[in-house]
Structure 1
Amino acid sequence: MNDNIVFIELNVLCVTILALVLMKVVSGLSKSNRVDVSFARVIIAHIFMTIFYCVTGLLSDMGAHTLNGINLILISRTLCDIGVYLSVYSWISFIMKTEKPFFEKDKKGVLIWAMPFAGLTALSLYSPFTRMFFYIDGSGMLHNGDLALFQKVVVYMTALLASSTCFTSSRKYDDSDKRKLVASIALYPVLPFIAAVAELYTSGCFVPAASMLMLLMIFFNNQEMMIYKDHLTGLNNRSRLLRYLEDRMENGRNGLYAIMMDVNHFKEINDHYGHVEGDKVLAYVADSLKAVMDKVPRKAFLARYGGDEFILIINMDSEGDIKNLVKAIKRKVGNFGPGLKKIPISIACGYVKYDKKYCDIDSFIEAADEAMYRDKYKNRNDNANMMPEQALPADFNRVS
């Protein structure tokens, strides 16, 4: 009886904690944010799994003494298995949307990852008749079937294979906080797999608690990341930049450049058209910068430094490469897609290469800032001609 009480309390605690996390995720949910929507689905699937883990455990402990009781246990155990499949597959979908590995690029890849779980679901539905994954003995007690270990191995080996994509992609990040988040996502199936194997040889129920702990680790690491995000542009904020630069400058890596960028005539945009339009301009510039960097096969750190200033930290082989990157940035910011009117926006860029003479972060950033202002004043006549009393179009929306 005491074991049942502990079992119920543990599962109720897991469901309660996951429900609180879900409320937190949903409260800040944006339908356009595929990652947040996907993580919410992961939590919902785990709540479903935990509930049926609890129900199945209680029913099996009581035993089945009637035909209805037997059917109830078999249905509950089948739904418990399906809950596990949904939990793991929703987590794999979460990886797809977080890291965008190669298998997300086409629908065939998504279907390939769904196939093991579709097959296992079919086998679980037939297990009451075949006794493959579970069965009820003559005394009415629920037991694991002959292929129960195979079932768990297929589920968690599929999850571990998906995890390998996270470990591979984590190498592209210089940012320690981002690496930590990706590592926590990749490590998710390890503890639940150990718990699932332990359940085969003990009477315990460890998977819900193990899964909850791993989801909490992902959630807290993601929350820490969000603290350092600029909410308007989605870029890293100034605090995150300083932490990042502190690490990079301490290592003294060669070929490290800082590019400082500033929107020309931004004060006039705010004064003339209002801060709402000014925010749209900043969002557009941020999206343009991200679009450029997506095509650059280099590790880079992009942040909003403050106001209309942006900064890019990147390693390059030569000054010529940096100049080409600056040209690409300026061209992208002034290049609007089909159907959009020309909007008077341009950007000034200045870059500086890291050197030991920059004794601290401030001096390094200040040097990039001075280079940016030299570029701004050098081109101010051309920029002035772009700005005069031209109104931003009424249909000016954020361009991704």
Structure 2
Amino acid sequence: MTYVFYYVEAHLACIFLMAFLLFKIRKGVNKQLSQIYLGNLIIVLIAYCFAEIFWALVDGGYLGSSKTLLYLSNVFTYLLINVAAYIWYILSEIMQKEKYIESDLTRVFISVPVWISALLCVTAYRTGLVYYLDENGNLTGGKLYLILIIVPFGYLLAASIKALSRAFSKDRYAERYIYFMIGIFPITPILLGILQAMYWRVPFICYGSLAAVLYVYITYMDNLVSIDPLTQINNKNQMYKYLVQKMRNQNPGLSLFMLIIDIDRFKSINDTYGYSEGDKILVRVANAVKDACQGPRSRFFISRYGGDEFVVVAEMAYRAEASWLADQIKNNVKKIPELTGCAYDLSVSVGIAQYDYEAPISIQSFIARADSDLYKQRKLNN
């Protein structure tokens, strides 16, 4: 069968490109959980490509045409598709910063459909529930064949629907790029999967998988560029992008505020306890700021501005709300020594500026206003 050569060639090309991506990911210094799962996803897809090569060689008669080989060639492909879809769902939840997914028990529970599919595939040789060989020796879908389709599509669609609902939320502008990526990721694999079901000797799925993984990798790398590696909050560049969008478009009934947070006597703590302790302080203060900005109607963008300074861009109705938020941040930071056992007191100064849409100014001028108020607050604290 002449198609076998081209089928194998296409999958070998995809294996090579995905192996290169895997090398780049594993070579990275900053090993986050999302990075680990992205690597795992690529490993499973590489294994799937090898399984497809095995299937093509069996289907083309190059490895024989026994019933056992025919079943095995399909078991591997179906199993790996299900596992890949499951890993993608876990990865999408991690990228959306869902804490529940970090539990081992939760991940096991979510994997139950994969185990059910695996059991049906492995026992199909005897039961024929998901597929069987007809009298002509052709593989035919059984009574429960639909399960093999529903499980992977279910994982993909569940992740997609959840992410897209967040992408269109006004309160989640900062993460919108990631949410859109997760939301549209399944489109290519699903469409090309349907095409391969219609023309099953054309390697549509391997191309779709490669395109989707490349898209995720590029988006993931872009996201890393916008995240401060120490505190895992937005960096200054991402803050500028956010401010440009917000300063052009006012939400009705809301004003735009900027809070600049500076850690008091940070240099002396660094000099006394070392830079390692200083890094811990920065992470703890970042978490304290994030905790203060939680809420069902939160409209806060949090970023590290540089050194020991953080910025919160907030949409609020009144300046009093911004002052209240500043007090919440201060109180959260003051509690850090008690919660962590630090041998020193910890406090922050907070400067506040309100943007006037009727008299627009530059981003630098807006920041300067908040910085000027920060200077006044710092003098009061000393």
Q: Do both share a fold (TM > 0.5)?
A: yes
Report which stretch shifted further, 151-160 or 299-308: 151-160
Count of residue correspondences: 377
2:370 is the counterpart of 1:368: yes
Report which stretch shifted further, 330-339 or 343-352: 330-339
Deviation (angstroms), 1:158: 4.1
* Match 1:95 to one of 92, 97, 100: 92
Residue 293 of structure 2 aligns with which residue? 293
2:45 is the counterpart of 1:43: no
* Match 1:191 to one of 184, 188, 191: 188
Counterpart amino acid of 1:345?
A: L
Residues 36-94 of structure 1 show CA distances to partners (whole Å, capped at 9, x for unaligned) of: 2222222222222222122112211227756xx43123212101111011001111111
Report which stretch shifted further, 338-347 or 216-225: 338-347
Alpha-carbon distance in 1 for matches of 2:272, 2:29: 33
Deviation (angstroms), 1:272: 3.7
* Match 1:115 to one of 106, 112, 117: 112
Provide the secondary structure at the position in 1 that maps to 2:341.
Answer: coil
Question: Please, what TM-score do these two structures have when normalized by structure 1?
Answer: 0.84
Residue 231 of structure 1 aligns with which residue? 229
User: Is the Cα contact below 8 Å between 1:60 and 1:142 reproduced in 2?
Assistant: no
User: Is the Cα contact below 8 Å between 2:131 and 2:145 reproduced in 1?
Assistant: yes
Residue 245 of structure 1 aligns with which residue? 243
Alpha-carbon distance in 1 for matches of 2:94, 2:271: 39
Residue 19 of structure 2 aligns with which residue? 19
In the TM superposition, 1:180-219 aligns within 5 A as: 180-202=177-199, 203-219=201-217
Residue 398 of structure 1 aligns with which residue? none
Report which stretch shifted further, 321-330 or 151-160: 151-160
User: Is the Cα contact below 8 Å between 1:173 and 1:179 reproduced in 2?
Assistant: no
Alpha-carbon distance in 2 for matches of 1:140, 1:210: 29
Residue 396 of structure 1 aligns with which residue? none
Provide the secondary structure at the position in 1 that maps to 2:293.
Answer: helix
Q: Which ranges in structure 2 are unaligned for 5 or more consecutive residues?
A: none
Report which stretch shifted further, 145-154 or 180-189: 145-154
User: Is the Cα contact below 8 Å between 1:34 and 1:97 reproduced in 2?
Assistant: yes
2:350 is the counterpart of 1:349: yes
Residues 182-236 of structure 1 show CA distances to partners (whole Å, capped at 9, x for unaligned) of: 1111222222122222222212121122122112111101111111222222221
Counterpart amino acid of 2:247?
A: M
Percent of aligned pairs with the same amino acid: 24
Provide the secondary structure at the position in 2 that maps to 1:294.
Answer: coil
Cα RMSD after superposing both structures: 2.8
User: Is the Cα contact below 8 Å between 1:233 and 1:283 reproduced in 2?
Assistant: yes
Deviation (angstroms), 1:376: 0.8
Question: Please, what TM-score do these two structures have when normalized by structure 2?
Answer: 0.88
Deviation (angstroms), 1:330: 0.6
User: Is the Cα contact below 8 Å between 2:51 and 2:77 reproduced in 1?
Assistant: yes
Counterpart amino acid of 2:232?
A: G
Indicate how the Cα distance of structure 1 residues 102 and 26 shifts in structure 2: closer, same or farther if over 3 A, else same.
closer
